Amino acid sequence: MPGKLKAKVVAGRHLPVMDRASDLTDAFVEVKFGTTTFKTDVCPKSLNPQWNSEWFKFEVDDEDLQDEPLQITVLDHDTYSANDAIGKVYIDIDPLLCSEAATVISGWFPIYDTIHGIRGEINVLVKVDLFNDLNRFRQSSCGVKFFCTTSIPRCFRAVLIHGFVEELVVNEDPEYQWIDRIRTPRASNEARQRLISLMSGELQRKIGLKVLEMGGNAVVGYLQCFDLEGESGLVVRAIGTACTLDKISSTYTAAIVQNLSNSSPSKDMKDSPQAVPSALGCRSTHSSPVHSASSRLSQGFSVSVPTLLFAGMGSGGSAGKEAGPLKALLRQQTQSALEQREFPFFTLTGFPPAFLLHVGGVVSARSVKLLDRIHNPDEPETRDAWWEELRQEIKSHAKALGCHAVVGYSESTSICEEVCILSASGTAAILSSRFVQDGALDTDHRFEDVAPPACGFCHIPYDELNMPFPAQLTYCHCCRRHKVPDVLFTTIDVPTEANVTGKGCLIQARLCRTKKKGQGEGNATAISNLLPFLEYELHTQLLNKLKLRGMNALFGLRVQISVGDTMLLGLASATGVYLTALPSPGGIQIAGKTPNDITYEQHISNMQKKINDTIAKNKELYEINPPEFVEEVIGSPIPEPRQRSRLFRSHSESSDEVLELDLSHGKKDAFVLEIDDTDAIEDIHSLLTDAPTPPGFYSCNTEIMPGIYNWTSGLQMFTSVRVFRLSNANLTNQGLNKIFNDLCENLLKSLYFKLRSMVPCCLCHVNFIVAVPEDELIQVAVTAVAMSFDKDQSQENGRQSGDKTLMKAITENEEQLQFPLELSAESPSNPLSCAKGLSEVSGPLPSARAPSVDHSSFTDRCSSWIEQLRLKAHTIRRGSIKTMSSLEKASPVPEGRSRSLRSNRSCPGSSITVVKMTPLSFIPGAKIIKYLGIINMFFIRETTSLREEGGVSGFLHSFIAEVFAMVRAHVAALGGNAVVSYSMKECVFMENPNKNQAQCLINVSGDAVIFIRESELEATPSQTQSGNVQTSSNGEGT
Amino acid sequence: MSVELDVFVGNTTIMDKEVYQLWLNGYTVNDAVKVRMEGGVMEECEASAEVLLSDTMDQFRTFQMCERLLQNPAKLANQLLFQIPPDRQAMLIERYYAFADAFVREVLGKKLSKGTKKDLDDVSAKTGITLKSCRRQFDNFKRVFKVVEELKGPLVENIRQHFLLPDQLARDYAAIVFFANNRFETGKKKLQYLTFQDFAFCAGQLINNWTVGAVDNMVEDMDVDLDKEFLQDLKDLKILIADKDLLDQHKSLVCVALRGKTKVFNEMETNFKNLSRGLVNIAAKLTNPKDVRDFFIDLVEKFIEPCKSDRWTATDVNLYLTHYTNSAHILDSFKYQTVWTRYMGVIKSCILRMYHE
C-alpha cells in the first residue's frame, strides 16, 4: 500500500445547460481511480456549481499510480431517468510521483466530451502521499523522470548517458471490438481514450524499470507513438535515452566547469531511486486491462529495404597527430563500452559539449510488413521482433560507416489497411566515452586537455582508404588537418560549437508516386519495390536543393514515407546550412543529350542561367560568404556511378538521369544534371519553383537557426492542417508531384502571410506530418513555432548579452530565483511575492514603473489576463464620482464574476495563467527553472453534426483549439507556465460528409516547465511588482 | 481538385484587426478578400489570392467561434479555449460593441423588439450597412438593454462592468438604453440634423439630473426612468407663464441684463414670452409619457427653430438662457428654485448642444 492519492472537487463554471426546462444544470461529480469511485453531492440548479467536496482518498499501489489516470466525470443529476454525462477530465498523476516535479495539481480543467468538445470547466485539487516503503520500487518506477526534450534538459547536467530504452505494448483496439456495434460512439471513444491512457502509463512504468535497472534516473528524448493497426490491434511503443541526470544548483555550476569527475555517479545514485528492481518484468498484468499479448502478424512475409543514405566520411583515428594515439585508445574504450550494448542508440539530437566526436552520416532502414487479420495472441513478441530486426539493420549500417553509435535516432510507422511500413533512422556517430562509461574518467580528463576542435564532428569517422561509399574528401577548412566530406547529412541538431557561415534554411524534398491498388503480399511487394526509388529520388532532390542554396550540410533530416491505397508520399525535411569546415559546394550544371537541336540548347542555357542566378541570390539571402580556401581535392578511390548503383541496385534504368559527380570540373561545377527526358526537366522545374521565403522570414526544422541569436520574447506556436482532395484519379506521377509540391508550398506561404506581423522572424522546428487518409486525400499537418528576433542588434551583442544574463542567472542563488515563482493564491501573506495582492492594492497608481523592466514578460508570470481587465474596471470605477458608494451593490448578474471583481483570492482558479507552448527545448530570453513532468495526451473528437459545426474545417479548428486549451490547463494546474518540446505526433482525421460525420484523433506531448524571464532575474522584485500588472502585454506573441 | 480542409490554430489566437473589422461589417469571405486585395496587402507581403482567401476564411471562422464569448465579455476573459492577450481582448470587445452612427440614428428611441428587428433590412438599405452588421448592432443594443434592465446601480457603471467596455462606449450604450426605455422620438425630419453624439450628450444630462438615480442610487432602474416626483414638481413652474406679473417681471429682468450685449436684443425682447411659454410648457407636460417622447421635437420646435429664424448665434442662445435661468431666481414670488435649477440646467445644456449654427 505505498501511496495515497487524494482528490478534492472545488467548483465548476460555464457548465452547459442540461435541463431545457429550467435552463440550468444539477451537476455532481464522480471521481474514479482504478476501481474505486467517489461522488460529490448534487449542486442543484447552477451553471457555476460550488461543490467544495471533502478530500476523496484512494489507497493504491504506486504501480497503479503510474498506470492509471485519475478520472473525473461531471454528470447532470436526473431524478427520473439516467444521469447524463456532461464530460470528463483525465488527469495523469505521474508528475506527482516524482519528488522534484510538481507537488500538487490544482486548477481549472476543461470538461471534455468526445462528442461535444469542451463543456465548461472544473476546479480540482490532487495530491499524492507516497509512503516510505522498502519495497517501494519493486514493480513501479516512480521517481524516474521523463523528458520529451531531445537534449539534456536545461536545468540538469548529465552524469551518465546510459543509452537506448524501448518498450512496446499491444492491445485490441476498442473501436474494433464486437461490443462497439452496440455501444454509443461516446462510450467507444471514451474506452479508447482510457485504454490509451492506461497503456501509456504502463509503457512509461516499464521503461522506467529498465532505466532503473541500467542505473539511471531519467529518460531523455522520450518518444511515444501509437500505431492504430485497425482490426489487428493497437500498439503503443516508446523509445528514449536513459540517463543519470543531476540537477544543477548554483553551487554546482562553478564546480562543474572545473572538475566534472568530482561528482561521481555513485554519489548521484543516492538520491535517485536505487532499489533496483530485482524481480524485473515479473509483473503480472492481471490487475490491469492491458494485455501485452496480442500481437498478430503476417506469417512469413516481410520485406526489408535497408537504405544507406548519404554519409560523411573520414578517418577519425588515423588522422590525428598529437591526439592520435590517445584518441585511438579512447575510441577503443568507448567502443567497447558501447558495443556491450545491444543497441548503442541515442534519441538525443543535442549533446553535452565534447560528447559528439564525429558524425558519419544518416543511416536509415525501412521494412514493409503485413498486419495479419487473424487474431494470434500466441505471438506477442512479433512487433518487438520487427523493430529488433530494423535496429540491427541500423546498427550494421552505422558499423559500415565506421561508427559505433547512432544518435538522433527515431522510429516511425505508416499504416494503410494491412500494410505497415516501419522506419528507423538516425545519424551514425562516434561518441566520447565521457558520459557513456563509468570507468573512463581518467582518460576523459586527459582528453579534456586536448579539447576537440569545433570542427571535430565534421571529420570523417572511417578509414579513407576503405570508404563505405564514395565521397570527395578535402582537408577540413577549419583545422586543415583532418579530412572532411563534401556534404554531410544528419538527423541531429546543429551542434552548438559548430562553425556555420551565414544562416540556414528549411529544405524539403517532396515526392508522390502512384501505385496500383493491391492486397496482401502483392501489395506489400509492390510497395517495397517502390521504396528504394522513392528514397533515392528524395535524396537527389535534397542534394540538388542544398546545392541550389549554396550550402553543404543538412541537419535534422527527417524522411517520412506515407502509404495510401493508390499512392506513396515521401517528404524529406531538413535544415540546410553552410558548415565552414566543409568545402564550398559546386554549382549545378545542366547538360543536354541532344546537342544538335538549337532551340533545345537555348532552353538548356536559359535554365542554366536561371540556376546560376538562383544560387547567387540564395548565397546573398543566406549571407553565405565563406572565406576563400585553397582546395586540394582528394578524389574518391572508387568511380562514383558504379558505387552508387551498388547501393541502389534496383535503380538501374533511371540512374543516368541523376546527378553524377563530374570530377573533371573541379570545385565549382562538380554537379551535372543531365537532361535526357521530360522527367529530368520536370525535376529541374520543381527545383526552381520553390518560392523563396518572403523578406524578413527564415525557417528551419531544427532547434536553433544558425546565425540568429538575438531572439525577442515574441513566440507563436501553431498547428496548421490541410487536406487536399484529388478529383482526378488518373494522375501521372508528375501531376501528383506537382499537386503535392504546391500543397506544401502554399501551406508555407500561408504561414508566412499569417505571421507577417512578427517579422523579422524565424519559423523554427517546422514539422510536417503527411498522410493519405483516404484514396484521394492528401493530408499535411504542420506544427512549428514562429519566433521574432531583433534585427538591429548586432550578432555579437546579442550573443554577449545572452551570455552575460546566463552567467548572472547561474550565479544567483537558486532559492531566490524560485521565490517569486512559488507564489500562489494561497500565500498572500508575503507582500513581495504576491503580485496579485499588491497590484490590487496599488491598482490606481500605475505610475511607479521601473524603467528597465520588461513589462510585457512580467505579466506572463505574475498574473492572468482577467485580472488586468478587472483591474482596469476597478480603477475606473473608483475614478467615477457618482458611483463611489455603489461598489458593493452593483450588478451581480453572473455571480461568479461579481465576486471575483471584488476579490481575486476568494475564487482560487478564476484567473488564467498564460501558458506558452513551443516545440523547442527552450524559451528565448527565459530560464527554465523547473521541469514538472511530461504531458502526454490523447484525445478523440467525433461529431454527427459536421455541417452545424462549420464543416470539416470548423470541426478540426475547434478540436485543435480544444487540445491546446487542455494542454495549457494541465500545465497551469501543475504550476507551470510553458510547455517545451511540444509535438503533435498524431493527427488522424476521418470524415464522412454524406453522413454528416467526422472523427479525429490527436496525440500531443511535451514537457511542462516553469520559466522566468532573464530580465526579471535582473530586476529586483520589489521594483517591478507594482505598476506592471496594468501594462498590458502587447509583446505577447501577436 | 480542391482544398477540402484548411485550418490554422495558434497557441495565441491570431487576429488581424483589419479582417476583424471586415467581419464585423458583415462582409462575406469573398467580399472581404476583394477588399483586402484592393487594400494592397498582397503586394506588401507577396501573397497570392489563394493565401488571402485561406487566411480570411480562417479568421472569419475564428471570429465566429469567439462570437459566443463576445456576447458575454466577462466570459472571454476567463475562458480557456482561446489564449488572447488582454489588450487584444479589449480590442475585440470594443469593436464588437462599436456601432455606426448612421445605424444608431435609425433605431435610437425605438423599442428594441422583434418588430424593429424585422425592419432592419430597410435600415440596411437606407444606411448601406450590411444586414448582418445591422443585426449585430441591434442585438448588442438589445443584449445590453436586457442585462442592465434587471440591475441596480448606476447605468454607465453596470454597462462598463458587464460588457467590459471603455468609458465612452459605455456612456453611448447608456444613452441608447435610456432612449429605448423612454422611447424618445428621434426620427422626425426636424431632428434629422442631430447626430447620435448630440443625443448621447443630452441623454447623459438627463440621466445625471432628471432620473431617480440623480437623487438616490439604490433603486432599480434608477438611471433609466425619469424621476416621477420631479416631473410632477415641474408642473409648478407653470406659474412663470400663468402669472402675468411674474412673466413681465421675468422679462424685464432678462432684458435689463441683456441690453447692449447682443445684436439680436430686439428679437429676444419680442420673442421672450413665446420662448418662455414654450420652455415652461415642455416642463409642465413631462408627466405625460407621450410628451416625454416628444421632448426633443418640442425643444426644436418651441425654442431652437424660432431662435434660428431670428439668426441667433450660439453665444446669443447661451447668453439668453443664462440670464433667463438666473433672473428667475431673483423673482421674489417664485418659490420653486430647486426644481427650476434642475430643469433649466439640463434644458440649457441640451439646447446648446442641439443648436447647430
pLDDT in tens, A266-302: 333 333 333 333 332 222 222 223 232 223 333 233 3
Percent of chain B surpassing pLDDT 90: 44
Quote the pLDDT of residue A866: 41
Residue B250 domain flag: yes
Residue A450: pLDDT over 60? no
If one compares A144 and A264, the residue with the highest pLDDT of the two is A144
Across the interface, of A110, A722, A749, the residue whose CB is closest to B51 is: A749
Rounded to a whole number of angstroms, the distance from the CA of A953 to the nearest CA of chain B is: 5
Segment A339-385, tens digit of pLDDT: 667 788 999 998 888 788 888 889 989 999 888 754 554 455 778 88
Segment A792-839, tens digit of pLDDT: 654 444 444 444 343 333 333 333 333 333 333 343 334 333 333 333
List the grid coordinates of A927. 530560464
Segment B315-348, tens digit of pLDDT: 989 999 999 988 888 887 788 888 898 899 999 9
Cβ <8 Å between B8 and A750: yes
Q: Are residues B150 and B212 both part of a single domain?
A: yes
Quote the pLDDT of residue B259: 84
> If pLDDT is split at 50, 70 and 90, which confidence band does A544 have?
confident
For range A975-1000, the mean pLDDT: 90
Quote the pLDDT of residue A498: 84
Quote the pLDDT of residue B91: 93
What is the Cα–Cα distance from A728 to A384, expressed in whole angstroms?
40
For B156, nearest residue in chain A (alpha carbons): A883
Residue A625: pLDDT over 70? yes
Residue B43 with chain A: CB contacts under 8 Å: none
Rounded to a whole number of angstroms, the distance from the CA of B86 to the nearest CA of chain A is: 5
For range A1009-1013, the mean pLDDT: 90
Q: Are residues B185 and B283 both part of a single domain?
A: no
Residue B4: pLDDT over 60? yes
Q: What does DSSP say about strands A978-992 and A997-1013: parallel, antiparallel, or unpaired?
A: antiparallel
Residue B5 domain flag: no
DSSP secondary structure letter of residue A993: G
CB contact set of A432 (below 8 Å; sequence gap of 6+): A330, A334, A354, A355, A356, A357, A444, A447, A452
Q: Which residues pair with A591 in a beta bridge?
A: A674
Q: How many CB pairs under 8 A join A and B?
A: 213
Q: Are residues B118 and B174 both part of a single domain?
A: yes
Range with the lowest mean pLDDT among A266-275, B60-69, B96-105?
A266-275
Segment B194-248, tens digit of pLDDT: 999 999 999 999 988 888 777 665 665 567 788 888 889 888 888 888 888 888 8
Domain range spanning residue B205? 98-224
Cβ <8 Å between B5 and A877: no
CB contact set of A177 (below 8 Å; sequence gap of 6+): none
Cβ <8 Å between A889 and B218: yes
Range with the lowest mean pLDDT among B49-58, B141-150, B332-341?
B332-341
Q: Are residues B177 and B73 both part of a single domain?
A: no
Using a CB–CB cutoff of 8 Å, tell me whether B357 touches chain A: no
> If pLDDT is split at 50, 70 and 90, which confidence band does A536 have?
confident
Q: Assign A145 to helix, strand or coil.
A: strand
Quote the pLDDT of residue A718: 95
Cβ <8 Å between B9 and A901: no
For range A986-997, the mean pLDDT: 88
Asked if the bond preceding A760 is cis, omega within 30° of 0, the reply is yes
Residue A639: pLDDT over 70? no
Residue B11 domain flag: no
Quote the pLDDT of residue A680: 61
- Picking from A865, A868, A904 by the largest number of B CB atoms within 10 A of its own CB, the best residue to mutate is A865
Across the interface, of B5, B64, B88, the residue whose CB is closest to A721 is: B5
- Tell me which of B167, B196, B224 is where a domain ends: B224
Percent of chain A surpassing pLDDT 70: 66
Using a CB–CB cutoff of 8 Å, tell me whether B205 touches chain A: no
Quote the pLDDT of residue A468: 63
List the grid coordinates of A397. 549500417
Other Cβ atoms less than 10 A from the Cβ of B168: the count is 11
Maximum average pLDDT range among A152-166, A423-437, A604-618, B19-33: B19-33
Please give the C-alpha separations between residue A561 and each of A471, A568, A647, A768, in angstroms, as whole numbers: 26, 7, 19, 12
Quote the pLDDT of residue A182: 78
Quote the pLDDT of residue B9: 94
Segment B265-313, tens digit of pLDDT: 888 888 888 888 999 999 988 888 888 899 999 999 999 999 888 888 9
Cβ <8 Å between A721 and B7: yes
> If pLDDT is split at 50, 70 and 90, which confidence band does A674 have?
low
Q: Which residues pair with B5 in a beta bridge?
A: A723
> If pLDDT is split at 50, 70 and 90, which confidence band does A610 have?
confident
Q: In this structure, are residues A14 and A86 in contact, taking their beta carbons and an 8 Å threshold?
A: no
Q: Are residues B219 and B239 both part of a single domain?
A: no
Q: Are residues B218 and B271 both part of a single domain?
A: no
- Picking from A727, A1002, A1038 by the largest number of B CB atoms within 10 A of its own CB, the best residue to mutate is A1038
Q: Are residues B348 and B238 both part of a single domain?
A: yes
Q: Are residues B248 and B143 both part of a single domain?
A: no
Q: Are residues B207 and B138 both part of a single domain?
A: yes
Q: In this structure, are residues A53 and A59 in contact, taking their beta carbons and an 8 Å threshold?
A: no
Q: Are residues B191 and B242 both part of a single domain?
A: no
Range with the lowest mean pLDDT among A812-821, B139-148, B252-261?
A812-821
In whole numbers, what is the pLDDT of chain A averaged over residues?
A: 72
Residue A171: pLDDT over 90? no
Quote the pLDDT of residue A56: 94
Across the interface, of B77, B150, B217, the residue whose CB is closest to A886 is: B217
For range A323-330, the mean pLDDT: 42
Q: Assign A363 to helix, strand or coil.
A: strand
Residue B92 domain flag: no
Nearest Cα to Cα of residue A357 among A338, A374, A384, A376: A338
Quote the pLDDT of residue A307: 39
Residue B7 domain flag: no
Q: Are residues B266 and B330 both part of a single domain?
A: yes
In whole numbers, what is the pLDDT of chain B averaged over residues?
A: 88
Residue B83: pLDDT over 60? yes
For A1038, nearest residue in chain B (alpha carbons): B14
For range A596-614, the mean pLDDT: 78
Q: How many structural domains does chain B have? A: 3
If one compares A567 and A1021, the residue with the highest pLDDT of the two is A567
Rounded to a whole number of angstroms, the distance from the CA of A117 to the nearest CA of chain B is: 11
Nearest Cα to Cα of residue B324 among B233, B240, B245: B240
Across the interface, of A724, A865, A968, the residue whose CB is closest to B3 is: A724
Segment A38-61, tens digit of pLDDT: 999 999 888 999 999 999 999 888
Residue B1 with chain A: CB contacts under 8 Å: 724-728, 739
Residue A658: pLDDT over 80? no
Nearest Cα to Cα of residue B124 among B114, B113, B136: B136
List the grid coordinates of A666. 573541379
Residue B84 domain flag: no
Residue A779 with chain B: CB contacts under 8 Å: 5
Q: What does DSSP say about strands A474-475 and A483-484: parallel, antiparallel, or unpaired?
A: antiparallel
Quote the pLDDT of residue A1017: 65
Cβ <8 Å between A718 and B8: yes
If one compares A64 and B161, the residue with the highest pLDDT of the two is B161
Q: Name residues 216-275 of chain B within 8 A of A (Cβ).
A: 217-218
Quote the pLDDT of residue A982: 95
Quote the pLDDT of residue A1000: 93
Residue A401: pLDDT over 50? yes
3-state helix, strand, coil in chain B (%, to 5): 70, 5, 25
Segment A460-505, tens digit of pLDDT: 877 776 666 666 788 888 888 888 888 889 999 988 888 888 889 9
Segment A864-898, tens digit of pLDDT: 444 444 444 443 333 333 333 333 333 333 333 33
Residue B91 domain flag: no
Q: Are residues B200 and B285 both part of a single domain?
A: no
Cβ <8 Å between A753 and B153: no
Residue A905: pLDDT over 50? no
